[in-house]
Structure 1
């Protein structure tokens, strides 16, 4: 028996097929090979086409099937992970009405702030655990105000994973976890937020049917199954945002457990059983994949927009012939601290942990007679690690005190330089696992389809492949110097 996991990322779509009995990934495929386009019509805007995602999902599944390592007829359930906070709107015929306004788009910050003040900050935080910020509800309100003709045609609003499930099944569903990441869920009443719906003037009919994360969200249509070489009627049994899903893929589901990722964006995600919120909304609390009203499991999320994107920008700036392995090798020849060169990696929109300020990316203290490409490569990875430390300290203020952090051995965590810098500057060991978002989505499907009876059963075969522990090289002085530079950039923005 097999499970299919789909991970709709910002850069590409990845799919994996997992064997239920062994827990092994039999095959994986990514589409496209190059990074997907982000459309930025104005500074701070970021959009992608939902129909592009759907085309990439289909191509990735067909590519995976073509490897010949499994029989697609044996796939028993499908799970979907997706980039969080994106807005997708469709008409009555389930056609997308505009590009998705994706997670790193900053246009709705002012809209969210107006709602935050109008409703009352304490009310919003105590009920929704977050400021509306530039999350999905605020993005929809922006469309309502600025594109009224488009808004008038909206039959349903949804998150990116809801859209892909709809294309597979024809059914439109969502979950409390998805609605919480859009700041549409009231944790005190365990219902859609009446406050937000009234503030923005949304009709209740615009929200899809709400189902548990682990449950059937529709069955694959015959026409789609035939096109993709699958059996008709396979259930889509799981949908979750990429960060809750990443936590699931690392078996992070219980209070005190913490996961991290360093892909396009960087995230630290810890689980709690308390309705926690940061009074400045620098970190965000969402319903975790296993959250219920009776058994609370909340994910406290710290996001840094520009991590892998900063590393990619550096690679592209230096030249297309440079790859990440060569960058890592060059950086390894430079001493820790990069000879005083510092990088602020905040060039990807408004940063929530910086109170929704747009700081921009900066290279500081460049010495034209000393610093080389290799210094830049190392300083970029150190700057990203320092930004994680800055965010982790905010999480610590809010009660998170991780003794170990789990991460997939992918993206920046494939770099020994980054991994060791992350551990040394935070003081927290990291367990690295061989898995990714598509693996987590596949396992989630197994749980949702009751193929696995418990989460523990689903991950019984998974062990860490590496433990990275702190060394004597703490980089505390370098971090404090970096933090001072950041505060200098923030000072005029805070006036």
Structure 2
């Protein structure tokens, strides 16, 4: 049987959903062509009062809106490509958790242009941005047997919070996973959700060397371990689609879901001497560790660099900042609100373009902004600050230039270029929506990292998820 040559890749991100149809290039094992792609804004911030709504720092998304955006993406892709799809790769925002009832998590709608599913008996998604687990609560949790610390927004931390604050809520469900684990489970009608080590590590209380949850630690603490998904190799076969789906044939193979970080890196990293920088809603700087590298099995909550599972039991060194494009968005919203308070109505898009233009003309500034309005996982209580303020540096150009520089400098403080050089990095490959829209951010990246920097990569996690599935299928065919 010939290896699948057309793969659908899906990425369920924090702010948008993307889908891409990828075809293997004939005669080139590493080549590919993106036949079609589509993205839709999710606009999924939960508005209804949720049974698990915690303090004001809680961050939840409406799963129905995410799936609606996914359905809109697939409906927009050409039917002639979808009919040829032989495999589906899925990635999505890491760390988050949602709950559902096995066998009742969705219903299929046969009417309309194409069969599609919509969520049923599903909770909101508590995202990676969730802040309900403060430092005091995290300190009360048992120490994990893992090289990764547990932070707010991590799936297991959220479940511990619910166990303490809303135990009745947890009794309503018998399955849990990330948003992308949920989609895979629904497509394949899995009796139990499957989770890759990439996503399991992002939940906490997972030992990557043993490839297992910290069951004894969790059981002793009263944790509802029956909610934990089974573990499987990333992109290995999770199952097959139980229905035809937007023209994709019934019985199409679906891979175990990937983390969006790993999928993004996979789509960007041409050589093992590349580091991959992504600045979108948040920021990630990743570099591959040598084969055989094993992180210390004692978590260090204060360490700014974490080691995440990649593929084939290797690791990525990752500096993951919570403060990226979302900081710029917060600044824009503040300006729009100030102007509204003054009786002026201005579109956010207009404000954004004007402030970037002003910063581009302002090549330097003495103003210093530490932009950590969301804290950082290794410094959860850190707030933002503005220093070296003078009357000459208060123009929109100065402030925006300082804000963009602060985002990049904050990342550089977490993973300096000197350390990348020690690991053998020779080039930085950059991608992400915030970088593509913002020439000032690109300038500041070049200023901070004295390597050749490649910009404008036309890649994303959806393409990466497809490529991983494509490569796996080709490898299996060869063996």
- TM-score band, normalised by the shorter chain? 0.7 to 0.9
User: Alpha carbons of 1:41 and 1:185: their partners in 2 closer, same or farther (altered >3 Å)?
Assistant: closer
Q: Say if 2:368 and 2:402, in contact at 8 Å, map to a contact too.
A: yes
SS at match of 2:403: helix
RMSD over aligned CA atoms reads 2.9
Q: Say if 1:143 and 1:151, in contact at 8 Å, map to a contact too.
A: yes
SS at match of 2:77: helix
1:141 and 2:149 aligned: no
Q: Say if 1:177 and 1:286, in contact at 8 Å, map to a contact too.
A: no
Unaligned runs of 5+ in 2: 26-30, 48-52, 106-119, 337-345
2:371 to 345, 354, 359: 345
Question: Which residue of 2 is the match for residue 480 of structure 1?
Answer: none
Q: Say if 1:252 and 1:271, in contact at 8 Å, map to a contact too.
A: no
CA distance in structure 1 between the aligned counterparts of 2:221 and 2:137, rounded to whole angstroms: 10
SS at match of 1:424: helix
CA distance in structure 2 between the aligned counterparts of 1:407 and 1:157, rounded to whole angstroms: 33
User: Alpha carbons of 1:243 and 1:146: their partners in 2 closer, same or farther (altered >3 Å)?
Assistant: same
CA distance in structure 2 between the aligned counterparts of 1:394 and 1:182, rounded to whole angstroms: 28
Q: Say if 2:278 and 2:431, in contact at 8 Å, map to a contact too.
A: yes
Q: Give runs of aligned pairs for residues 126-205 of structure 1, distance below 5 A.
A: 127-134=145-152, 135-171=154-190, 172-205=193-226
Question: Which residue of 2 is the match for residue 468 of structure 1?
Answer: none
Which has more helix, going by share of residues?
A: 1
Question: Which residue of 1 is the match for residue 459 of structure 2?
Answer: 435
1:44 and 2:44 aligned: no
Q: Give runs of aligned pairs for residues 94-493 of structure 1, distance below 5 A.
A: 94=105, 95-109=120-134, 110-115=136-141, 118-119=142-143, 124=144, 127-134=145-152, 135-171=154-190, 172-222=193-243, 225-226=244-245, 228-251=246-269, 257-272=274-289, 273-277=292-296, 279-283=300-304, 285-292=306-313, 297-316=314-333, 317-318=335-336, 319-320=346-347, 321-322=349-350, 324-336=352-364, 338=365, 340-348=366-374, 350-354=375-379, 356-359=380-383, 361-367=384-390, 370-393=393-416, 396=419, 402-408=425-431, 410-432=433-455, 433-448=457-472, 450-451=473-474
Question: Which residue of 1 is the match for residue 341 of structure 2?
Answer: none
Deviation (angstroms), 1:281: 4.0
Q: Say if 1:283 and 1:300, in contact at 8 Å, map to a contact too.
A: no
CA distance in structure 2 between the aligned counterparts of 1:242 and 1:280, rounded to whole angstroms: 22
SS at match of 2:22: strand
Q: Say if 1:283 and 1:394, in contact at 8 Å, map to a contact too.
A: no
CA distance in structure 1 between the aligned counterparts of 2:161 and 2:310, rounded to whole angstroms: 28
CA distance in structure 2 between the aligned counterparts of 1:48 and 1:10, rounded to whole angstroms: 9
Deviation (angstroms), 1:137: 0.9
Question: Which residue of 1 is the match for residue 115 of structure 2?
Answer: none
Question: Which residue of 2 is the match for residue 29 of structure 1?
Answer: 38
SS at match of 2:406: helix
Unaligned runs of 5+ in 1: 458-495
User: Alpha carbons of 1:63 and 1:41: their partners in 2 closer, same or farther (altered >3 Å)?
Assistant: farther
Give the TM-score, by structure 1 length.
0.78
User: Alpha carbons of 1:288 and 1:195: their partners in 2 closer, same or farther (altered >3 Å)?
Assistant: same
Deviation (angstroms), 1:385: 1.0
Number of residues of Structure 1 aligned to a counterpart in Structure 2: 429
Deviation (angstroms), 1:331: 1.6
Deviation (angstroms), 1:13: 0.6
CA distance in structure 2 between the aligned counterparts of 1:190 and 1:416, rounded to whole angstroms: 42
Q: Say if 1:50 and 1:163, in contact at 8 Å, map to a contact too.
A: no
CA offset digits 1:6-33 (Å, max 9, x no partner) = 111111111111222262222221113x
CA offset digits 1:29-48 (Å, max 9, x no partner) = 1113x754366863422111
CA distance in structure 1 between the aligned counterparts of 2:305 and 2:360, rounded to whole angstroms: 35
2:12 to 8, 11, 14: 8
User: Alpha carbons of 1:196 and 1:285: their partners in 2 closer, same or farther (altered >3 Å)?
Assistant: farther
User: Alpha carbons of 1:168 and 1:253: their partners in 2 closer, same or farther (altered >3 Å)?
Assistant: farther
User: Alpha carbons of 1:188 and 1:80: their partners in 2 closer, same or farther (altered >3 Å)?
Assistant: closer
Q: Say if 1:253 and 1:290, in contact at 8 Å, map to a contact too.
A: no
